[in-house]
Structure 1
Amino acid sequence: MYTATTRAICVTVRPQYLPDQSDPAKSQYVWAYQVRIENRGDETVQLRSRHWKITDGLGRRQEVKGPGVVGKTPRLRPGEMFEYTSGTPLSTSSGFMGGTYQMVSESGENFDIEIPTFSLDTPGESRQLN
């Protein structure tokens, strides 16, 4: 589990390798990741967009930007949380990803919060530093 807190908004990520969707013989590896976003502050915020940086085991980097997460732009009052699950494929058996969510406060202030960088590792493979 990986956690980062920015401006009292806590983002926790739990990655999981999906062997049933992966095919190592074809250099296809797939991970799911569950994300929990908790508003521990005293102001209502809304997630507007995401910016992911995904790096494979060979150091090749891909960036993914877009509105919301899984088709939603959740609004979180103080004490509320939002959870979702998504996934990513890689052509190598390891890598890592992280990034930012772009948020807006009730007062209209736009700001970024950190998505913790997390490791994507295939069970049984020797770990390598990416």
Structure 2
Amino acid sequence: MVTAVTEGIKVCVEVTYQAEFSSPHQHHYVFTYKVTIENKSQFTYQLLRRKWEIFDAAENPKIIEGNGVVGQQPILEPGESHTYVSGCNLKSGLGKMKGVFTMEKLFDGKLINVEVPEFQMIANIFHN
């Protein structure tokens, strides 16, 4: 698990290789990642947008942007957290991701870019 904190917003990411959904002989590797966003600040924030940088050893880097996370734009009061699971497909068994969540402080409308720490995606293809 990797963790980063930006202005009191803590982001933790845990990644899992999904061997049962992967086909290494067809260059198809599936990973899921669980993201927990915890508001440790004294303000209420809403997650508006996400931006991911995806690095795959077999391809050029990709940038993925969009509103919210898995169709949601959660509002986090102080002390609250939001957890979601998403996935990424790679053509190699080796990659990494990092990103930014754009969040709005509802008190004054200030936007902040919250770091999503870089995490590794490594296929465990040699495990029985």
Give secondary structure in 2 for the equivalent of 1:78.
Answer: coil
- Note the 1:87-98 alignment, pairs <5 A: 87-98=87-98
Q: Give matches, 1:55-94, under 5 Å.
A: 55-58=55-58, 60-94=60-94
Matched with 1:128 is none
What CA distance in whole angstroms lies between the structure 2 residues aligned with 1:53 and 1:41? 26
Residue type matched to 2:90 in 1? Answer: L
TM-score by length of 1: 0.93
Q: Distance in 1 between matches of 2:60 and 2:118?
A: 16
- The residue identity in structure 1 corresponding to 2:114 is I
- Unmatched segments (≥5 aa) in structure 1: 126-130
Q: Which residue of 2 aligns with 1:111?
A: 112
AA at the equivalent of 1:30: V
Distance in structure 2 (CA, Å) of the matches to 1:31 and 1:77: 30
- Aligned-partner residue type, residue 60 of structure 2: R
SS at match of 1:25: helix
RMSD of aligned residue pairs (Cα, Å): 1.0
Identity %: 37
Q: Secondary structure at the match of 1:71?
A: coil
Gaps of 5+ in 2: none
d(CA) in 2 for partners of 1:45 and 1:120? 29
Scaled by the length of structure 2, what TM-score is found? 0.95
Letter paired with 1:65: E
State the 1:110 CA deviation: 0.9
Runs of 4+ off more than 2 Å: none
User: Size of the alignment, in residue pairs?
Assistant: 125
SS of the counterpart of 2:120?
A: strand
How far apart are 1:58 and its partner, in Å?
3.7
Residue identity opposite 1:56 in structure 2: D
